[in-house]
Structure 1
Amino acid sequence: MRKILSMIFVLCFSSTVLAGSHKMSEQKDIVDTAAGIDMFSTLVAAVKAADLVDTLKSDGPFTVFAPTNEAFAALPAGTVDMLLQPENKDKLVKVLTYHVVSGKVKAKQAMSLSSATTVEGGDIAISSKMNHVMINNAKVVKADVMTTNGVIHVIDKVLLPNVLASN
C-alpha cells in the first residue's frame, strides 16, 4: 500500500512539477532543469560522477531519456553503487550516453520513429502503443520537458547497453 501511495504521489508530484516548470525550464539547460527536480537526484549525481555536466550544459541540442530515482532503485542491488565508483567511470559514461540522442526529438517526432542512435553509439528501439512512447522497455511517463539546449523525456526504467555484461 505504501508503494502504491508513493507511486501516486510521485506521478502527481512529477506531473505538477514538470507541468508547472515547463516554461521555467525553457530558461535552463538540461542539467539545471534536471537538478531542479528531486526525482532526478540519482541521475544528476551520476552525470556529475561521469564528468558529463559540461557536455550536457553545452549548446547541443540533445534529447535525454531521463530515468527517475525509482528507475535507478529498480536496478539489481549494488548496480548504482558499482557504477558510481571511480574505477567504473567508463561504464557509467556508456550507460548515461545511451540515454542521449543528438538533436531535439519531441514526442510527436519520436512516435514516428522505430529506432534512434544514441550518443553512446548503440541503437534504442522506439515504439508507440496506445499513445505511449516506449524506449526499449522503458515507458515515457512525461514527454517534452523543454530546455535551452534540448528536450527531456522522463522514463520509468534505466536503459542499459551491453556495458554491464563483463560484471
Structure 2
Amino acid sequence: MLDMLENDKLTPESFENFLNKLKCDIDDPKIYRDFRKNILSIKKYTKNNNTVIDQNSEYFKKLIPFLDFIVNDNEKNIENDFLNTMKSFLHINNKRTLDKMNIFEKIELAYSLLDFNIHYKEKINQKNKPNNMHNDLKHFIHAHQSKYFVTEDKSTIKKAKLVVNALSLKVKILNIEEFVVKFS
C-alpha cells in the first residue's frame, strides 16, 4: 500500500486505488485477514500520529466515527451510532452519500462494515472465506423485503439484526428453531 501514497499521505484517491487492487485478491483468506487487521490497527496508530493519514485534514476528521466504530465493543453504542459510521465510511472516496444509495447498497455497506468491528468480525479461514460471507449478505439482501429471514449462521443473525434495526427494515431475523416454534 505504501507505493500508493501521495507525498507520503493517504488521500481519498490513493485509498480508492488500493481498494480497487484489493478486490482482485479479496477471497484469499490471508489477504483478507491481513487487510482487516490493518484496518483494525488504524485507530491505535492514529493515537500516536504514527500513520500515513494526514490527521489535520478534513478527510481524516470525517473518518473519525468509522475509526471509533472499528474498536467499539458496546453493541448498543454500535447500533445507535451505526448510520453515522456508514456516512463516515462513505467519506473515504467522497463519491457516494447514504441518502443517494438504494436500499440494496445500504444493506451491503452496513453488513460489510460490520466485519471490520472487533465485536462483529467473522472468523476467516480456508473453510470460511470472504466469499462465504458475501453469499450470506446476498441471501439477506434478497430476503430483506420478506417477513422472515431464517438462517443458522450465528454471525449472520447478529449482523442482520443490527442492519435491520439501523435501516428500519421490517424483516424478522430467526434461526430455524425460532421459526419452527413461531409456526407450531
TM-score, normalised to structure 2's length? 0.27
Structure with more of its chain in strand, by fraction: 1
Identify, as 1 or 2, the structure richer in helix: 2
Which has the higher Rg, Structure 1 or Structure 2? 2
TM, length-normalised to structure 1: 0.29
Higher relative contact order (CA 8 A, sep 6+): 1
